Amino acid sequence: MKNILLAFSFLIQIPSYSLANDSTGYVGTGGVAYLKNSQIAMQSEDLFISKKLIKVDYLYKNLSTKDVTETILFPLPRIDNFFEADFAHTEQLLNSFKINVDGKNIKPEMHVRTFIQKDEKSPLIDATDVFKQCGFTETEMLNPWVRNNDNSAYYVNKLRQCKQPKMQKILADFKQDDEIPWSAQVVYSWKQTFKANGLTKIQHQYRPLVGGSVALYPDEYNQNFCMDTQFKQGLKKARAEHSPFNALSYILTTGANWAKPIENFKLTIERDKNELVSFCWNGKVEKISPTQFQMTKRNFVPKQDLDIIFVRVK
């Protein structure tokens, strides 16, 4: 639930994914984006997470006596434009993204932003306007998500041939034979009016970005997924301590940006029948069916994001 309402001049810093041998990367996605606003409170959030679907139902309350109209943003992560390994199905997320407001489907605007970063220690440069000035179309800027062109040399040559001064300044930090690492972020937006003293229902759903690996090493992954003794015993009993696994991440922490804590929060996580699941959660976890786990909180202020691992045991 990546929650922020902001102007596009503010850059959203979202964790990038990592790749390993025989693995697929995954990145954190979230929900409606909103800036901390003293007039709008989130009365409830009902969040459902599985490998095939993320669905969130929000109920917002306008605490003021006037209508409030804001631009709502839904930022997706940055995806790198390289193809050296398999990766989660990014295009599936774009094609599956849906928003419903008070029972009506709406079509948000899609904005594509591009970034260049030499390495992890270098600053992240928002190069969106420079890419456009260098003749990149929106389709080309969207390539990390849709992967229409896996020829990285095409993009490197186009960047190097650009005479725009800002681009030349950026490229001055690269040697002639260097790869130019660039990434693209998709941001959805729409105008939303919250009626005076009224309630507004917003639902969104999409297919998440799911990664994983061919082999689990519990000690290596334990910190991210809080694998407790019971989970590890289940792995051992099923002889699945090094089984293939999937993982996904969901950004919870910015849910603290509303006027008040989330009055009623419910989280449901679903796994497949042939899987064990582990994640970090501070509170009671109730098993409500053979494949579903549910958590509830009153006056909830999320303080950590959610990483979930699904380990195949058959």
CATH class of 23-312: mainly beta
Q: What is the per-residue pLDDT for 87?
A: 57
Q: What is the per-residue pLDDT for 276?
A: 94
Contacts of 26 (CB under 8 A, 6+ apart): 17, 88, 209, 210, 211, 212, 247, 248, 249
Where are the domains positioned within the chain? 23-312
pLDDT in tens, 51-85: 999 999 999 999 999 999 888 878 788 888 876 54
151: which 2 tokens?
């020829």
Q: What is the per-residue pLDDT for 133?
A: 96
Q: What is the per-residue pLDDT for 25?
A: 38
Which pTM value belongs to this model? 0.81
Q: What is the per-residue pLDDT for 23?
A: 30
Q: What is the per-residue pLDDT for 219?
A: 78
The residue among 271, 269, 268 whose CA lies nearest residue 234 is 271
Q: DSSP 3-state helix, strand, coil percentages of the chain (rounded to 5)?
A: 20, 40, 45
Q: What is the per-residue pLDDT for 271?
A: 96
CA dist., res. 306 & res. 50, Å (int): 13
Q: What is the per-residue pLDDT for 212?
A: 83
Cβ 23 vs Cβ 167: under 8 Å: no
For the chain, 314 residues long, give each residue's pLDDT as a single digit of tens.
333 232 222 222 333 333 222 333 344 555 555 556 788 888 999 999 999 999 999 999 999 999 998 888 787 888 888 765 455 678 888 999 999 999 999 999 899 999 999 988 899 999 999 999 999 999 999 999 988 888 888 999 999 999 999 999 999 999 988 889 999 998 888 888 999 999 999 999 999 888 888 888 877 777 889 998 889 899 999 998 889 999 988 888 766 667 788 999 999 999 999 999 999 999 999 999 999 999 999 999 888 888 999 999 97
Q: What is the per-residue pLDDT for 9?
A: 24
For residue 170, what is the enclosing H or E element? Answer: helix 165-171
